[in-house]
Structure 1
Amino acid sequence: MSDTSILNHLFDKQIVCPVCNSHFKAKTVKSKSPRVISKDSDFFIRYSVVNPYFYDVLICNSCGYAAMRSDFEKLKSHKKELVLSNVTPKWKPREYPHILDEKLAIERYKLALLNAMLIDLPNSTKGMISLKIAWLNRLLDNNIQETLFLKQALEGFNTAYMTEIFPIYGLQRDSLMYLLGELNRRLGNNQDALQWYSKTIVNTNSSYKIKEMARVGKDLIKTANT
């Protein structure tokens, strides 16, 4: 697709940084533009036309604050102070093209992940950012980096499951139980995966769809072991 065609699916959104109150514009995907091609078993959505994941991270070039769109404005006061003390002194402004690709999106997600670590955001936030970095590496067929960030996602979500309030990034308890099973399966931790799949299936609050996905995961492990 040509650059002009891609730009037709984007618009400039005015953003106000919650840390330093700077105003900036961010390329944003029009709501009707993405076309879903398929969905992977760990909830990764594959798109045609334009990929919303590429434009999911907002970055303030003034203070260096970076976060996913869903989190950008939700920063608490004491976290804002941490950005100014831990992020801003190290920040070097950078410019990005209007049209982003996998590699640039990964760089931006890594900036969001660094922010999350430096200002001690919840484990679920670190887990979700890591998961999205893994997904983008999947698009690049970079198995080593995908595995690395799947491990980080698993670590974050494991802790979040025990300590945070649901829903977590739109995931109810049954969906996160299933995701923990799926991440373990993809990382070769089959026993842990089977335990999480089983918890999902026997949970009376699990949806039929999630139970079926867990059964598919269990079958994949059994098939691989025969």
Structure 2
Amino acid sequence: MTEITPFYQKKIECLYCKSPFHSTKIRSRFIKFSHHETDFRPVYKEEQINPLLYNVNVCPECGFSFTDDFTKYIVPAQKLQIQEKLASQWSKQDFGRERSFEEAINTYKLPILTGTLKKEKSITLAGLYLRTAWLYRSIENEEQENRFTTLALKEYINTYMKDDFTGTGMSETKILYLIAELQLRLRHFREAASYFSKVLASQKNSVEPRIIELARERWHEMRDDYKKAT
């Protein structure tokens, strides 16, 4: 009898060149969730059985990389940009096997490029930046974690201002909370306080009491951190 492993190969079609390829995914029954951190980073009991490592699909033929959050259509002008900035410079590589944290980080940087060229929504780019920051946290690289947290913060503010998160599963309350939380992690206390206030002000109309409660908890922790920093 063949032993079933946590990993399997999923057939994918490249959104850009339409080439078929395989990408490793994890069978849900093997995923052992532990808890979420305050910026919603999921922590798993087994580090390598981590879906975050396999969220990105990388076409080995042209390098176009994407997640399930990407829109399917690419307009002609964007195709020209992708050809010039990525495909023409790509050396065939296969990211379809099991990935280390370092390899996964490299795969996230690719859809950040393609998502920018393809003009994906800010909410999609924000998620890519934030997940990259999470992976850097996993390998304890604080400098790069803060760099990508800053980039994620910028895109979450953009998505809030443009209201481009509709239909994505992200609510305004959650966006505001994330902006506040990322500000706090970067030790921007005044800005964090402003956005936490927006979250708490929305509690009467919110259907997400857990996020309201989490914002309240973080508000109190922020006051303690601020006192220590001054």
TM-score (norm 1): 0.90
Maintained 8 Å contact 2:24/2:96 = no
Q: Distance in 1 between matches of 2:73 and 2:105?
A: 22
Change (3 A) 1:70 1:126: closer
Deviations 1:151-185 (A, max 9, x none): 00000111111113334742111000000000000
Secondary structure in 2 matching 1:26: strand
1:10 equivalent in structure 2: 7
Deviations 1:51-106 (A, max 9, x none): 000000001111211012332x6233344454234321121211337221110000
1:76 equivalent in structure 2: 74
Query: Is 1:174–2:173 an aligned residue pair?
Result: yes
Change (3 A) 1:80 1:168: farther
55-64 vs 97-106, which moves further: 97-106
Query: Is 1:196–2:205 an aligned residue pair?
Result: no
Taking the TM superposition and a 5 Å limit, the aligned residue runs for 1:100-115 are 100-115=99-114
Maintained 8 Å contact 2:58/2:96 = no
Maintained 8 Å contact 2:32/2:44 = yes
Taking the TM superposition and a 5 Å limit, the aligned residue runs for 1:100-139 are 100-139=99-138
1:93 equivalent in structure 2: 92
Which structure 1 residue ranges, 5 or more long, are not aligned?
A: none
Q: Distance in 1 between matches of 2:51 and 2:126?
A: 19
Query: Is 1:146–2:145 an aligned residue pair?
Result: yes
Q: May I ask how many residue pairs the two structures share in their alignment?
A: 220
Maintained 8 Å contact 1:41/1:182 = yes
Q: How much has 1:33 moved relative to structure 2?
A: 1.9
Quick one: percent identity of the two aligned structures? 26
Q: Distance in 2 between matches of 1:118 and 1:18?
A: 13
2:221 equivalent in structure 1: 220
Which structure 2 residue ranges, 5 or more long, are not aligned?
A: none
